[in-house]
Amino acid sequence: MAEPHPHVLLAIGGSDAFEPPKFTWDIILAADHGADHLRDFNIPASKIIGDLDSISEDALAFHIDNGAKVFQAIQDKDQTDLELALQHVPPRVEQELFLVGVCGGRFDHILMNIFTLSRASTAGLIAFDTPEGCGGILPPGQICIGDARNCNAGLLAQTPVVKNLCSQGVQWELYDETLAFGEGRGISNHVTESQWRISHRQGALLWLISGPRRADLEIEWLPAPV
């Protein structure tokens, strides 16, 4: 299926780094050790961002030789390398931002990655692979996820509330609901139809699917009107 929206690839330093989908990438970014992951997949980055305390010399040379620009921050800084890298993502809500390396490594880093991404509403639809399958962060809008029938699925609010939430094509559907942060009504669900259709009008929503990787799914994304 042709992907109708722009795609941005961002690699960060988590140890569970799965090969990204073979999309045509409009922009390719690496946050510090994420550059090593891209080098392993033979994907040159256009920009390398971070304090460069964990990137290997080989990876740095690979990307520079392929034309990457380096934006080096001081090591004694307040922001994480992911936060710095997100500043280089164009604010286009119609795009999809796919991340490599969100999971793996220290648990506090994984949590920080998820909550940081939940604040990146201008980046559009966010997606990443997990050890169990895939997921992402959905800002206000509508998403249709195909090829996930019989997969386990979950939704978790990443803001104090997610309003006007609809979730269809699953065993336990939601219609115009309000989901509070930490509330469990969105988890332990099961996709029963050919498409899982999710929409909401306010907040940030974490969606998760067990089984397929992002590359295995057909996704249609329509952001809410600005």
CATH number, domain of 74, equals 3.40.50.10240
Kindly state whether residues 85 and 175 are assigned to the same domain. no
Name the domain boundary from 131, 157, 181: 131
Same domain, 141 and 110: no
Domain that residue 18 falls in: 1-131
Say if residue 18 is in the same domain as residue 120: yes
Secondary structure in 3-state letters for the chain = CCCCCCEEEEECCCCECCCCCCCCCCEEEEECCHHHHHHHCCCCCCEEEECCCCCCHHHHHHHHHCCCEEEECCCCCCCCHHHHHHCCCCCCCCCEEEEECCECCCHHHHHHHHHHHHCCHHHCEEEEECCCEEEEEECCEEEEEECCCCCEEEEEECCCEEEEEEEECECCCEEEEEEECCCHHHCCEEECCCEEEEEECECCEEEEEECCCHHHCEEEEEECCC
The mean pLDDT of 8-25, rounded to a whole number, is 92
Residues 144, 89 within the same domain: no
Q: Tens of pLDDT along 127-148?
A: 999 999 999 999 999 999 999 9
pLDDT digits (tens, 9 = 90+) for 98-132: 999 999 888 998 999 999 999 998 999 999 999 99
One domain, residues 152 and 122: no
Q: Do 35 and 53 fall into the same domain?
A: yes
1 and 65 belong to one structural domain: yes
Question: Same structural domain for residues 123 and 158?
Answer: no
Whether residue 16 sits in one domain with residue 118: yes
| Residue 188 and residue 114 share a domain | no
The domain boundary, picked from 131, 165, 195, lies at 131
Q: pTM of the prediction? A: 0.94
Number of domains present in the structure of the chain: 2
